[in-house]
Amino acid sequence: MNLNMTLKQNIEKKLHAAFSQVFTEMDWAVTPIDITPSTHERFGHYQCNSAMKLTKLLKMPPRQIAEKITAVIEQDRSFAHIEIAGPGFINMTLSADFLSQYCQQMTQKRPDSDKTDEQVVIDFSSPNVAKEMHVGHLRSTIIGDSLARLLEYLGYPVLRLNHIGDWGTAFGMLIAYIKQYEPGIITHQKEVDLTTLVQFYKAAKKQFDEDAEFKKQSQLEVVKLQQGENEALKAWQVICEISRKAYQEIYDLLDIHLIERGESYYNPQLAEIVADLESKGLIEISDGAKCLFLEGFNNREGEPLPFMLQKSDGGFNYATTDMAAIRHRIQDEKASRIIYVTDAGQATHFAMLFAAAQKAGYLDPSKVRVDHVPFGLVLGPDGKKFKTRSGETERLIDLLTAAVSKAEEILQARNQEAKESYSSDEIKQIAKVLGINAVKYSDLVCNRTHDYTFSYDRMLRFEGNTAAFLMYSFVRIQGIKRKIQGEVSKESIYLVHPSEINLGLHLAQFDEILLSIADDLLMNRLCEYLYQLAEKFNAFFRDCRVEGVPEQNQRLALCELTAHVLKTGLTILGLQTVTRM
């Protein structure tokens, strides 16, 4: 249910009838009705700006067109007030009756008709095997998960893919090192964790750079792995499993669900991809490498940028794997939309990938939409890339556990001052939710295209646009329900007081904002919506008593709808709720 669309359809029907002798259906298709939320409450609830756009077709001044439009739509009981402003803008205020009925309809179950068979593929998180997940993976994981949740809520089947880095020459030297120094790992006689595996990798890299014989052995292991030799594959599988176990600990903590489909999955397809492009006459040789050259992609000197698909030594790279992946997602997964969530530094790569896939005939933009969702860096207090005090990149698991610990300290301090005390176990449970929520929300509340400064103190505040503030607003509604000690009334919502109407209007715009975000993929707009919802609810609660008044049941129903929308929005963001705090 979409309030903007509902209004648009109602108005279009009336205008089509009123102007049937002037406009054909083709005219309306070219100049659709333009309804947008008002930019300020003094302009009413919605604005219709169609008069300006119809001037050329009708050959009339926009003010005169606005008067004709107003004469038609003011008969609609959906509006309490309509006025013309400026040269032809129409400001519309919805009636309390219409808003009340709309909010009441929102309390019903979402219809199954919202479901669609348009397959969406989202590629996010994507850590590298044998390396720790660090703070740099945080944004891709959190943003990708929230986008998946949003589209799933809107009825899309979503395939959540974790395109991990689990193939390539680096595995040759790690396998060679393990075979030489830690063979017990391959036979499962010795258990190691990912931190130890990373230390092995660093030692292997050092030996690779210094020892020619070890380098040769590492290169042989790469060949064995590519050929599917049993011992090399077994070592590779052990390495992947150690990494997978560590990543899953983080995904469980963040409540993230993914299907692993790494680079190794597409490896058998790479040679065929290059052969296919050669057969289509698209490959050009540049310094011995097989490349695509795409219109509009040049370096600073104005020279064409190569999209390299096979290196001069015959090896493949990220571009080859990504070409295989996008073809597979379109042809085999039948995706109608593919979303890649990576850092902004890869923007050129993905722009070239989409252009290359289109040139190759794999991607038809009229049938499949592709989006690169870029994001900025996570910065430390010094304004530089977030690192530990020792200068190392912050491990993601350490960052998350620290957030939970700090949340527990804050809750313990609040518990000592509160009238109602909580047990140690309750505090730990709430702290886990608050800590993880705070990390997620502090990321999502920022426009993803910008860098943001990581601060435990700011993200765990109970005031301002934070996870704690929104959680507390939800808890406050649960407290109202407990205090009244009754089930939510089946009595219909009826909005009378201005604060009720403001809250009702904001609630009614929920699906409207979600559909808009599904297009631009800016989750910070949902954070802003939920923050405004909490603020409007607090204003309603301040101005409109709920308990023990004649309007108690209908106001309680409004509280319940607010809690439902708040919880739904938080769930889409990947945040959990608690009933006490």
Residue type, 101: Q
pLDDT for the residue 26: 57
Q: What is the pLDDT of residues 342-386, one digit of tens each?
A: 999 999 999 999 999 999 999 999 999 999 999 999 998 888 888
Residue type, 177: Y
Order of strands, edge to edge, in the sheet holding 369-375?
259-260, 158-162, 119-123, 335-343, 369-375
Residue type, 172: G
Residue type, 252: D
Are the CB atoms for 47 and 90 separated by under 8 Å? yes
Give the CATH superfamily of 396-573.
Answer: Isoleucyl-tRNA Synthetase; Domain 1 (1.10.730.10)
Are the CB atoms for 523 and 469 separated by under 8 Å? no
What residue spans define the domains of the chain? 3-94, 119-164+264-379, 170-254, 396-573
Are the CB atoms for 440 and 142 separated by under 8 Å? yes
pLDDT for the residue 484: 86
State the Cα–Cα distance between residues 48 and 351, nearest whole angstrom: 36
pLDDT for the residue 388: 62
State the Cα–Cα distance between residues 356 and 283, nearest whole angstrom: 11
The stretches of 107-229 forming alpha helices (DSSP H) are 135-153, 170-181, 194-210, 212-227
State the Cα–Cα distance between residues 526 and 147, nearest whole angstrom: 11
pLDDT for the residue 117: 84
**Distance (Å) of CA 97 to CA 40, 74, 100, 263, 494:** 22, 15, 5, 57, 7
Whole-model pTM above 0.85? yes
Nearest CA among 174, 168, 166 for reference residue 207: 174
Q: What is the pLDDT of residues 86-145, one digit of tens each?
A: 888 999 999 999 999 999 999 886 654 466 789 999 999 999 999 999 887 899 999 999
Which CATH code is given to the segment(s) 119-164+264-379? 3.40.50.620
pLDDT for the residue 113: 47
Rg from Cα positions in the chain: 29
For residue 147, report the phi and psi dihedrals to the nearest 5 degrees.
Answer: -65, -40
Which CATH code is given to the segment(s) 3-94? 3.30.1360.70
Count of residues making up the chain: 581
Can you read off the two tokens belonging to residue 64? 């005169």
pLDDT for the residue 73: 85
State the Cα–Cα distance between residues 348 and 318, nearest whole angstrom: 13
User: Mean pLDDT, consecutive 10-residue segments, the chain of 581 residues?
Assistant: 84 75 61 83 89 81 88 86 91 95 85 73 96 89 98 97 92 94 90 93 94 93 89 94 95 97 95 97 96 94 94 91 98 98 96 98 98 94 75 82 95 80 90 97 96 93 96 94 71 92 97 96 98 97 94 93 97 96 84
- 119-164+264-379 with 396-573: one CATH topology? no
β-strands 158-162, 119-123 pairing: parallel
